[in-house]
């Protein structure tokens, strides 16, 4: 399988992410790790050059997460391709659970759901989340996608997603930003592909720690969901 890691200004975390991906239990499955440096300016490229056992690709300028994923997918040789974020919000220990439905022949694509285990808490408790507005945005995206595409998922924005390579290899995707995932999933749903979800762990980081998605990305995601329900594929 091929694990594609889109990466932008993650010099602090990328070595540990790669180490965790390399150590993840995949049940004996061979792994190809492809890291795409999307025009980083913080020394990420130098860190990647020092790491063994990975395919390091790079963009000369920042083009967006989707562009980095497309570059990684184009280079992937595995029959399963999985998207892994370059931060520490997601646990590579979940990789095996995400790819399992594909290996079992039950799915063409698997979405990792952050909300299948539990919903976040915002007002009480030690583990309360500071991202209430993000959660409302997520609920909007979930409801809109489920309504327009006749699906029943609990999360479309979880970063872990895996696909049979043949179902994505020839599928044209216009988006280069965070909305890439949404365009890809919406098109797969319209084509009648088997898309299911599995629970994943999630440990959100703050903007001070490097979180990059903002409200305007949410608007682009909503527009992407709307337009690909009606535009020809």
Residue 12 DSSP code: T
CA 162 to chain CA mean position, Å: 8
CATH number at residue 93: 3.90.550.10
Q: How is residue 141 written in tokens?
A: 């995206």
Coil, strand, or helix at residue 86? coil
Cβ–Cβ under 8 Å, residues 197 and 113: yes
Tens of pLDDT, residues 39-58? 999 999 999 999 999 999 99
Tens of pLDDT, residues 175-232? 999 999 999 999 999 999 999 999 998 776 444 544 556 657 789 999 999 999 999 9
Domain that holds residue 83: 2-230
Nearest-angstrom CA–CA distance, 6 and 152: 27
Q: Is 203 exposed, middle or buried (0-12, 13-18, 19+ CB in 10 A)?
A: exposed
Q: Is 129 exposed, middle or buried (0-12, 13-18, 19+ CB in 10 A)?
A: middle
Q: Is the pLDDT of residue 108 over 60?
A: yes
Q: Is the pLDDT of residue 130 over 50?
A: no
pTM of the entire predicted model: 0.89
Number of domains in the chain: 1
Q: Is 217 exposed, middle or buried (0-12, 13-18, 19+ CB in 10 A)?
A: middle
- Across 4-18, 125-139, 207-221, the highest mean pLDDT is recorded for 4-18
Cβ–Cβ under 8 Å, residues 131 and 204: yes
**E strand or H helix at 195:** strand 195-199
Nearest-angstrom CA–CA distance, 74 and 24: 23
Question: Which CA distances in Å does 3 have to 42, 91, 146, 217?
Answer: 23, 13, 27, 24
> How confident is the model over 79-90, as a mean pLDDT?
92
């Amino acid at each position: 399988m091929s694990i594609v890691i889109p990466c932008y200004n993650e010099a602090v975390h990328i070595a540990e992410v790669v180490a965790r991906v390399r150590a993840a239990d995949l049940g004996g499955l061979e792994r190809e790790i492809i890291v795409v440096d999307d025009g980083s300016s913080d020394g990420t490229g130098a860190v990647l050059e020092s790491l063994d056992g990975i395919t390091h690709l790079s963009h000369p300028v920042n083009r967006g997460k989707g562009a980095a994923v497309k570059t990684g997918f184009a280079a992937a040789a595995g029959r399963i391709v999985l998207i892994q974020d370059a931060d520490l919000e997601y646990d590579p220990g979940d990789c095996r659970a995400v790819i399992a439905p594909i290996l079992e022949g039950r799915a063409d694509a698997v979405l990792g759901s952050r909300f299948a285990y539990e919903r976040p808490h915002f007002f009480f408790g030690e583990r309360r989340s500071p991202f209430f507005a993000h959660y409302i945005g997520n609920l909007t995206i979930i409801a809109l996608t489920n309504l327009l595409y006749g699906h029943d998922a609990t999360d479309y924005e979880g970063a872990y997603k895996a696909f049979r390579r043949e179902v994505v290899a020839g599928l044209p995707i216009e988006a280069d930003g965070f909305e890439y995932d949404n365009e890809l999933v919406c098109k797969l749903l319209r084509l009648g592909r088997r898309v299911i979800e599995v629970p994943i762990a999630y440990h959100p980081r703050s903007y001070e720690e490097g979180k990059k998605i903002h409200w305007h990305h949410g608007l682009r995601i909503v527009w992407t969901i709307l337009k690909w329900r009606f535009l020809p594929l």
